[in-house]
Structure 1
Amino acid sequence: MVIVEFVVVPLGEKSLSRYVAEVVKFLDRRGVKYQLTPMSTIIEVSTLKEAFEIIGEAHELMFKLGAERVSTTVRVDDRRDRQVHMEDKVKSVLEKARGG
């Protein structure tokens, strides 16, 4: 599994919720496992290639929605030794934080 955090920002916009909502709809249509956070979107996919394809489409979606300039930031967690899912990472941290 590849876990990827990304932020797609149409520059010059005061409110981004309309744009983020369209990205969420796009991810739902694609059947992508994702987690929306207040500052970014995290996806879990099989390959890095798939992740970049999805993020590229989300980036292009901003232009289709009328943006004239778009900034996209990506952070990748790609493990090859074992499969780790988004919820596994969160669970591990919370267990340690709570003394487990």
Structure 2
Amino acid sequence: MVIVEFIIVPLGERSISRYVAEVVKLLDKKGVKYQLTPMSTVMEVPTVGDAFAIIEEAHELMFKLGAERVSTTVRIDDRRDRERKMEDKVKSVMEKVRGG
């Protein structure tokens, strides 16, 4: 799995929660595993191509919702030596915090 963090911001808006809600609905519709955080959204997808297709759709959705300008930031963790999931990364850190 590829782990992807992305941030889509419709510029010039005071509140973006309604836009974020529509992106979450899109991810649900796509059946994508995701985690919404206070500052971004993280998702797991099979390939980088899948990630870009979903992010492009979410980016374009902002314009359909009335945004005039949109800024999108993407960060990709593509590990090929073994399978990793979002919770594996968090678990690894927490084990070290607890001295494990």
Q: Secondary structure at the match of 2:84?
A: coil
Give the aligned partner of residue 82 of structure 1: 82
Say what the alpha-carbon RMSD is for the aligned residues: 0.4
Give the aligned partner of residue 55 of structure 2: 55
- Residue ranges of structure 1 left out of the alignment (5+ in a row): none
- Residue ranges of structure 2 left out of the alignment (5+ in a row): none
Q: Secondary structure at the match of 1:13?
A: coil
TM-score (norm: length of structure 2): 0.99
Q: Is 1:42 aligned to 2:42, yes or no? A: yes
Moved over 2 A (4+): none
Q: Identity of paired residues, percent?
A: 79
After superposition, residues 10-29 of structure 1 pair within 5 angstroms as 10-29=10-29
- Report how many residues are paired: 100
Give the aligned partner of residue 94 of structure 1: 94
Letter of the structure 1 residue corresponding to residue 70 of structure 2: V
